Structure 1
Amino acid sequence: MSLTLPGILVDSAWLQANLAAPELLLLDATVELPAPRFDGDYRSSSGYAGWLQAHIPGARHADLLTELADTDASFSFALPTPERLLKALAALGLNDEKRLVIYDRAEGFWAARLWWMLRSVGVDAAVLDGGFKAWQRLQDVGCPVRTIAPCPMPLGAQSTPYWVDRTHVEAVVAGHTPGTLICALGTALFDGSAPSRYARRGHIPGSQNLPARTLFDEQGHYLPKDALVQVLDAYLHDDTPLILYCGGGISAAANALALTLLGRQHIAIYDGSLQEWAADARLPMTTGAPPA
């Protein structure tokens, strides 16, 4: 095998240099999810039409709404069974000879989501740092090569589940199961001061707020590792399980990727996130600033 992924993140210069490699499988994981105009305004659609209009040469569209999701679940983007996920990936061209790179045409959250899905079933992959926008900038003006160190944790070494369900989160909220709940949504969505596309405003009680967008620079690249350490320092010094969520388990995946880059283990994503939690009036939610 002549093509080797340099780490969790690859840059546009590396991709350009390896674009013609027969071992490369490039996937566009974009989903369209407009900002809510009012409470409960949930609109999602496939990114396929956008992929038809523009994509990196050779990229295939990976549909997180249908082929790569459990469409029978009560919430969008639900994790499919490993068998269904692997079958869908095989249909996209994945096999033992391929090296997989994922990107999206948005803020990088969709690519991170698919990366975490693959990681949970033992499939190695990398994310294009900065996504399609970074690729376009490279074609226009060029960009320097950035060195991205490999993941310090071997694939499959995580001792806790990659995913948790609502019952597990309820146990954490009740204090019956250890865990730190972290919401990846923006501050205004977390504290309930902005309209939410979900059934209720606010966050799961006891949650801390770590907006995923704070992990990126102005051009959409993940921050350098020393800057990521500053942002994520509070979560790097013990082994308490981290339970990450957002609206649909998408932005949370960017947090999971960044924490993994820094070697943090014991990370799980609540797959249903607020789309499932907020829809059940029996489950508690709260508004306001995170606990001190």
Structure 2
Amino acid sequence: MTAPIISAELLDVRRRKAEVLVLDATVELAPAKHDGDHTSSTGLAGWEREHIPGSRHADLLHLLSDPAAPFHFAVPSPSALVAALSSLGVRDGVPVVTYDRNGGLWAARLWYLLDWLGVEASVLDGGFAAWQSAGLPVSAGPAGAPVDAGPLTVRERDGRWVGKEDLAAWMAGEKDATVVCALNPEAYAGEVPTRYSRRGHIPGSGNLPARSLTGADGLFLPAEELRAALGGLAEDPAPVWVYCGGGISATVVALALAAVGRGDVAIYDGSLEEWSADPSLPLELGRGG
């Protein structure tokens, strides 16, 4: 299996040889101006303005989420996800590279969905900004004709998702896990407005901000620095469960752990959007963890 993070230069070589399918996973999610402010839109318009040649836009907000779920960006059933991915050209024998235009969070989310189904996938290191910085070509315009869906064999990986019942059982001491919140320290502590109904973090969970795993240039830290930034999670004997606000930033931590050799991380998909909506579930303020 290839490394889950790929450089812009290597992606350019591979896409020129038609060895990969490139998907832009960008979603436009505005910072919350007040508690409960969840304003988002697809990144399709931005993709049409400029994108990696040959790429397609993958709509995480609608196409690749479960519209019936009570929270945003919920993972669809495997069958629904396979149908959506097939419509984008994902098929057996063709690795996928994901990218986005705003920090890599969305690319990591799409990578996680693909990896869960056993599809060979990687994330463009530094995203579209790195592609542009490397002076590589850019295209514009709407998507072309629909692709012919090829066969897509699913090899679903067990243990990749946990729910609020699992977290409640962990809090009660009935399950063993190391639980980490991937939000920034201010959001973890409840010091800033949240998109959800209540501020704070799940009591007992630690804080590992997704943004702490990349440098100022948006590239992931070098391997040894990345392992150090992960704070021992790669070697932790307990199951590692990661959450955030809506199951997006958490996938960056999962991607970083996969890059250093740990591929069994589970995501709490509903994250704080689901957790905070249930008044019976506790939230804790402050940075103590």
TM-score over 0.5 for the pair = yes
Residue 48, structure 1, aligned to residue 44, structure 2: yes
* 8 Å CA contact 1:186, 1:211 repeated in 2: yes
Quote the offset at 1:54 in angstroms: 1.2
Structure 2, unaligned runs of 5 or more: 138-153
Residue 81, structure 1, aligned to residue 109, structure 2: no
* 8 Å CA contact 2:118, 2:155 repeated in 1: no
> What letter matches 2:275 in structure 1?
W
Q: Name the residue aligned to 1:235.
A: 233
Quote the offset at 1:87 in angstroms: 1.0
Q: Normalising to structure 1: TM-score of the pair?
A: 0.89
Are residues 44 and 127 of structure 1, via their aligned partners in 2, closer, same or farther at CA, if it must alter by over 3 Å?
same
* 8 Å CA contact 1:207, 1:290 repeated in 2: no
Quote the offset at 1:233 in angstroms: 2.9
Of 125, 130, 136, the residue aligned with 2:132 is 136
Counting only pairs closer than 5 Å after superposition, residues 36-115 of structure 1 correspond to structure 2 as 36-115=32-111
Q: How many residue pairs were aligned?
A: 273
Of 187, 208, 213, the residue aligned with 1:189 is 187
Q: Name the residue aligned to 1:270.
A: 268
Are residues 27 and 203 of structure 1, via their aligned partners in 2, closer, same or farther at CA, if it must alter by over 3 Å?
same
Q: Name the residue aligned to 1:24.
A: 20
Q: Name the residue aligned to 1:256.
A: 254
2-structure distance, mates of 1:116, 1:79:
10
- Identical amino acids, percent of aligned pairs: 47
> What letter matches 2:246 in structure 1?
G
* 8 Å CA contact 1:209, 1:290 repeated in 2: no
2-structure distance, mates of 1:68, 1:79:
7
Q: Normalising to structure 2: TM-score of the pair?
A: 0.90
Are residues 273 and 170 of structure 1, via their aligned partners in 2, closer, same or farther at CA, if it must alter by over 3 Å?
same
> What letter matches 2:115 in structure 1?
R
1-structure distance, mates of 2:260, 2:156:
14
Quote the offset at 1:126 in angstroms: 0.9
SS at match of 2:180: strand
Structure 1, unaligned runs of 5 or more: 142-155
Quote the offset at 1:97 in angstroms: 3.4
Q: Name the residue aligned to 1:280.
A: 278
Are residues 13 and 267 of structure 1, via their aligned partners in 2, closer, same or farther at CA, if it must alter by over 3 Å?
same
1-structure distance, mates of 2:204, 2:85:
37
SS at match of 2:134: helix
Can you list the C-alpha shifts for 1:134-166, whole angstroms capped at 9, x where unaligned? 00101179xxxxxxxxxxxxxx99986011111
2-structure distance, mates of 1:231, 1:170:
28
* 8 Å CA contact 1:28, 1:59 repeated in 2: yes
* 8 Å CA contact 1:239, 1:266 repeated in 2: no
Residue 221, structure 1, aligned to residue 219, structure 2: yes
Of 163, 166, 183, the residue aligned with 1:165 is 163
* 8 Å CA contact 1:23, 1:97 repeated in 2: no
Are residues 162 and 140 of structure 1, via their aligned partners in 2, closer, same or farther at CA, if it must alter by over 3 Å?
closer
Quote the offset at 1:6 in angstroms: 4.4
Quote the offset at 1:117 in angstroms: 0.9
Counting only pairs closer than 5 Å after superposition, residues 148-163 of structure 1 correspond to structure 2 as 161-163=159-161
SS at match of 2:48: helix
* 8 Å CA contact 1:165, 1:271 repeated in 2: yes
